[in-house]
Structure 1
Amino acid sequence: MVIIDAALTRFAADGFDRATTAAICRTAGIGSGTFFHYFPTKLDVLLAILELGTAETAAWFAAQQGRADAGGVLGDYVVHAATEYADPRVAGFVKAVGAVMNDERVAAALARDEAVVADGLLPWVRAAQAAGEVRSDVEPARLCAWVLVVLDGFLGRLAGETGFDAAAEQDMLIDTVQRLLAVRSG
Structure 2
Amino acid sequence: MARTIDPAKHEARRLVIIDAALTCFAATGYAGTSTAAICRQAGIGSGTFFHYFPTKQSLLLAILAYGTEETRDWFAARADDEDPLAVVVAYLDHTAEEMSDPRMAGFVRAVSAVMGEPDVEAALALDTRVLEDGLEPWIARAQAAGQVRTDLSARDLTAWMLVVLDGFLGRVAVDTDFTAEGQRDTLRDVVRRVLSR
TM-score bin, normalised by smaller chain = over 0.9
Q: Residue 12 of structure 1 is aligned with which of 11, 15, 26?
A: 26
Residue 41 of structure 2 is matched in structure 1 by: 27
Match of 2:70 in 1: 56
Pick from 125, 144, 148 the counterpart of residue 158 of structure 2. 144
What's the CA shift for 1:161?
A: 2.0
Task: Letter of the 2:93 partner, please give it.
Answer: V
Among 117, 136, 139, which residue is 1:125 paired with?
Answer: 139
Name 2:191's counterpart in structure 1: 177
Report the equivalent of 2:123.
109
CA apart distance, 1:164: 2.1
**Structure 2: segments with no counterpart, 5+ residues:** 1-14
CA RMSD of aligned residues (A): 0.9
Alignment correspondent of 2:89: 75
Paired AA for residue 38 in structure 1: Y
Between the aligned residues of both structures, percent identity stands at: 58
CA–CA separation in structure 2 for the residues paired with 1:39 and 1:96: 18
2:17 aligned with 1:3: yes
Q: Distance in 1 between matches of 2:93 and 2:192?
A: 11
Partner residue of 2:103 out of 82, 89, 105: 89
Query: Quick one: distance in 2 between partners of 1:95 and 1:181?
Result: 29
How far does the alpha carbon of each residue in 1:111-144 deviate from its partner, in whole angstroms, 9 at most, with x for none? Answer: 0000000011111111100000111111110000
Distance 1:103 1:136 in 2: 38
What is the CA distance between 1:3 and its match in structure 2?
Answer: 0.2
Moved more, 155-164 or 38-47: 155-164
Residue identity opposite 1:177 in structure 2: V
Whole-angstrom CA distance in 2 between matches of 1:162 and 1:127: 36
Q: 1:65 aligns with which of 68, 71, 79?
A: 79
2:11 is matched with which residue?
A: none
Q: Which residue of 1 aligns with 2:180?
A: 166
Partners of 1:12 and 1:163 in 2: CA distance = 17
Runs of at least 4 residues of structure 1 off by over 3 A?
A: none
> Match for 2:170: what amino acid?
G
Between the aligned partners of 1:72 and 1:103, the Cα distance in structure 2 is: 36
TM-score where L is the length of structure 1: 0.96
